[in-house]
Amino acid sequence: MPSNRKRPKNSPPPILKKKKSPSPPAAKPKINPSPPVSPPSVENHSPTRSRTNSVTSTRSFSSSSAHSIIIPAPIPPIFLSGASWNKVANKLLSSLPTNSLQAKVHDSNSFKLLCFEQDYIRLVQKYLLSTNTEFFTHPTSSERTLKVVIKGLLADTSDSELESYLKEKGYDVLNVRQFGNSTKKFPIHMVTLVSSPTNKLIFRETNILYMSVKIESYRSNKPAQCFACQRFGHSSLRCGYAPRCVKCSGPHLAKDCQKTKDQDPTCANCSGNHTANFSKCPAILSEIARRRPLRPNSQVPPTLSPTPIIKNFNSSQSNQSTAPIPPQSNISYASKVANSNPSSPHTTRTKL
């Protein structure tokens, strides 16, 4: 029986959906067991693996070879006089291999020997010492020392106390010396160490023996002077000259000198009545001047006398006599203005 309800005008007609009939369950596919997969053969992958290994080994070899390359330190030359070289040249050049030793002129009276292998430089030094040939050389980089100055310790701090303290902290100390003399000691100590990266860490120290200190590099204002022969330009570590005493200039070291304090010293360089390391010694002053010549830019130009200024005066002006102007007094301001601006005879003034 049709219903009497009216359908709204704007509503769309209803959509009737068909019900789906249930489908039968799908059959599960049968899975056939597959044969076991064999691992990849070594023969098929051996080229790739060998290539990878070869590349890896090449890289490791290159990296290891790059790290293992050590540049040898330069060998310092040996300096000796011309007469000494003429005495030993034939023996040295004939006993050593060819191109292992080379002699070059250093200055007007000395030669330098260049050795290209470390073993030969030791043989040459031993031969020169055995024949009493005077020479000197410089220490190698491994033999160089590090000198520092420690400021801020007590003046009564002994050298042995400071040396034992630094050695307990792991520093390789060679010598400790306090500035001053027997009557007055200064709170400044110079420490000589082996030049190594570990010993260079001493600059980081700020407290030593319960005192706040300041550590600086040692810088001398005098040229390098040998403690053994008192000559300049090298140290006593690699000196082959005969020793000369710093106090009496005798052929012995300073520790073997028998000169007393009441006797005047004798300089080994200038024969003056002072020690060889005296800062005002003429030999030291001349060595400083030789090593530090005056630069051209620092020379003072000669003083020039000023050029006189000549004025050309006319004859008429020169003949005129200039009489002095007498000072004027009791002159009013109005009169000065009137004199400075005189009225012309043709000018007429209009009174307002």
| Digit-coded pLDDT (tens) for 286-328 | 988 887 765 555 454 555 555 555 555 555 554 555 555 665 5
Instruction: Taking residues 147-155, report their average pLDDT.
Output: 94
Q: Which of 197-201, 218-222, 314-318 has the lowest mean pLDDT?
A: 314-318
Contact present, 276 and 269 (Cβ < 8 Å): yes
Q: Which of 43-52, 104-113, 181-190 has the lowest mean pLDDT?
A: 43-52
Contact present, 241 and 134 (Cβ < 8 Å): yes
What average pLDDT does the chain have?
75
Residue 329 pLDDT > 90: no
Phi-psi region of 342 (alpha: psi -120 to 50; beta: other; left: phi over 0): beta
Higher pLDDT, 166 or 316: 166
For the chain, the structural domain boundaries read: 78-139, 144-217, 222-292
Q: Is the dihedral of CA 254, 252, 76, 69 positive or negative?
A: negative
pTM for this prediction: 0.52
Q: What is the share, in percent, of the chain residues with pLDDT greater than 90?
A: 29
Contact present, 85 and 103 (Cβ < 8 Å): yes
Q: Is the dihedral of CA 260, 265, 266, 269 positive or negative?
A: positive
Residue 120 pLDDT > 50: yes
CATH topology of domain 144-217: Alpha-Beta Plaits (3.30.70)
Identify the DSSP state of 104: E
pLDDT tens digits, 55-84 = 444 444 444 444 555 566 678 888 988 777
